[in-house]
Amino acid sequence: MTAKEPHSPVRILLVDDHPLVRDGIASRLDDESWIDIVAQANNGEEALSLAHALNPDVVLMDVAMPVMDGLEAARRFQAELPDCRVLILSMHDDREYISELMQLGAAGYVLKDVESDELIKAIETVHHGSTYFSAGASQSLFTRAQGNPTPPHDALTQREKTVLCRVAEGACNKDIARALDISVRTVETHRQNIKNKLDIYTTAGLTRYAIESGLVKLS
């Protein structure tokens, strides 16, 4: 097993309109004792209905689907079931696609050409509250087009920039507080100020901004 096994199973809702694709993914995930596929869905509408009933931890979802696509489904999950972590698994590496899904609250984006071990790592990462983007998705998302500069971040104080970097690296409030020797309440205040100043209100959006601004470098 590639990922570190959690104390309790991670409950997965698998969403893709191609049964053969779902079967292949399910077969690989079934090899992991800490992953429990609680249901499968053909489209976003069906996924939402199942998620309301089953409350999965992670929704592993395609983008291009009939009835309700991944974009609308991600928007609905954010509004109705914000505790469900949405991990997109798609063949599309279009920057605007990925950017919009991040703004809609998706916790990660993995291209379908990745090795299965990386998919396992992505599931574990988003389940633990961080964001995950496969190399192909990161390259598409974080390479700015010429003539499309990143908005200035001069409005942030140095401490706010430091906190933003920690957030983009996946650190929780408690870890940030410990690293900077400040209280958790102070971290929460900084995070809210950052969101207000940048007009970005999701962790995925803040992560994208931090990388596009050059505050965090891709490894």
pLDDT at 145: 40
Tell me, what's the pLDDT at 140? 63
Pairing of strands 85-90, 58-61: parallel
Query: Taking a C-beta distance cutoff of 8 angstroms, is the pair 38, 54 a contact?
Result: yes
Q: What is the mean pLDDT of each run of 10 residues along the chain (219 residues)?
A: 61 95 93 94 96 97 91 92 94 76 86 90 91 74 48 74 89 91 90 83 79 72
Q: What is the pLDDT of residue 151?
A: 52
Angstrom distance (rounded) from CA 70 to CA 89: 10
pLDDT of residue 4: 46
Specify whether the CB–CB gap between 35 and 29 falls below 8 A.
Answer: yes
pLDDT at 157: 87
Strand locations in 22-116 (E): 35-41, 58-61, 85-90, 108-111
Q: Is beta strand 10-15 parallel, antiparallel or unpaired with respect to 85-90?
A: unpaired
Contacts of 44 (CB under 8 A, 6+ apart): 15, 61, 65, 67, 68, 69, 70, 72, 73, 76
- Domains, the chain, with CATH or none: 10-142 (3.40.50.2300), 158-212 (1.10.10.10)
Q: Return the pLDDT at 192.
A: 87
The CA distance from 30 to 8, in Å, is 15
Backbone angles phi, psi at 81, to 5 degrees: -135, 65
DSSP for residue 149: P
Q: Running DSSP on this structure, what letter comes out for residue 201?
A: -
